[in-house]
């Protein structure tokens, strides 16, 4: 197993974009675990499965083939051979991904797959339980956070890019609900690992937060 960099934090804290750029600068492999849970959620929605039906959603997770691939400089997520990179970022998926991610069977399946992905490469993996559950012995652990309204503004830009126009207050409410579900779930809740370095991105530019993490790793 190579070097593992774990980046955790709540929705909208900048995990995905930061982890992707950190991996690029270091020449490491980037793995977006949030996209894995979103893919399972999308599959459940498409199959009209109630996300509270734990056995059926767990079965979907088991059967889902999720792959990542760079195409023309774009990081793409494939679900059963289909590029779902945009579909998994919809507000419909965002509203239901937390309930899906609370299902113990789903989390176990995803954690096992995440560990398999890290067998041979140096990786940067982001999520909510990477440093506490998936890789508790990661070489480097970071916890990204930011003021909820700042996180909501970032998510608002993401939605607008997909042609979805939610109000800032709607997104704040959505994030607050998701934070509560993620941090209070019984299996692998969102929390900062004791040995993780906290990076508050509220007043940092994207370049600043990436540079700060890269420098800490290179030191």
**Domain locations in the chain as residue ranges:** 4-211
- pTM, 2 dp: 0.82
**CA 74 and chain centroid, separation:** 17
Radius of gyration of the chain (CA): 16
Fold of 4-211: Rossmann fold (3.40.50)
Q: What is the DSSP string of 135-194?
A: -TT-SEEEEEE--HHHHHHHHHHHHHHTT----HHHHHHHHHHHHHHHHH-SSS-----T
Per-residue pLDDT of the chain (219 residues; tens, 9 = 90+): 789 999 999 988 989 899 999 999 998 989 999 899 999 999 999 999 999 999 999 999 999 999 988 888 888 999 999 999 999 999 899 889 989 999 999 999 999 999 988 887 899 999 888 999 899 999 999 999 999 999 999 888 888 877 888 899 999 999 999 899 888 887 888 889 999 999 999 999 999 999 999 999 998
Task: Identify each DSSP E strand in 47-166 by its residue range.
Answer: 66-71, 74-79, 82-83, 123-127, 140-145
- Name the residue among 122, 114, 116 with its Cα closest to residue 5: 122
């Amino acid at each position: 197993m190579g070097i593992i960099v774990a980046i955790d934090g709540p929705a909208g804290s900048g995990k995905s974009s930061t982890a992707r750029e950190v991996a690029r600068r270091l020449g490491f492999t980037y793995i977006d675990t949030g996209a894995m849970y979103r893919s399972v959620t999308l599959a459940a929605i498409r199959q009209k499965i109630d996300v509270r039906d734990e056995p059926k959603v767990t079965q979907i997770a088991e059967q889902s083939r999720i792959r990542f691939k760079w195409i023309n400089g774009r990081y793409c997520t494939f679900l059963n051979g289909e590029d779902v990179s945009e579909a998994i970022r919809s507000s419909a998926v965002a509203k239901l991904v937390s309930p899906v991610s609370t299902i113990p069977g789903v989390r176990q399946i995803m954690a096992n797959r995440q560990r398999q992905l890290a067998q041979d490469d140096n990786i940067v993996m982001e999520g909510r339980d990477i440093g506490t559950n998936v890789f508790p012995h990661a070489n480097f652990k970071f916890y990204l956070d930011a003021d909820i309204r700042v996180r909501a503004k970032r998510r608002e830009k993401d939605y607008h890019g997909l042609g979805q126009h939610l109000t800032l207050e709607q997104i704040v409410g959505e994030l607050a609900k998701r934070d509560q579900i993620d941090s209070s779930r019984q299996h692998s809740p969102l929390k900062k690992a004791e040995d993780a370095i906290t990076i508050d991105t509220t007043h940092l530019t994207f370049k600043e937060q990436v540079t700060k993490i890269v420098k800490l790793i290179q030191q």
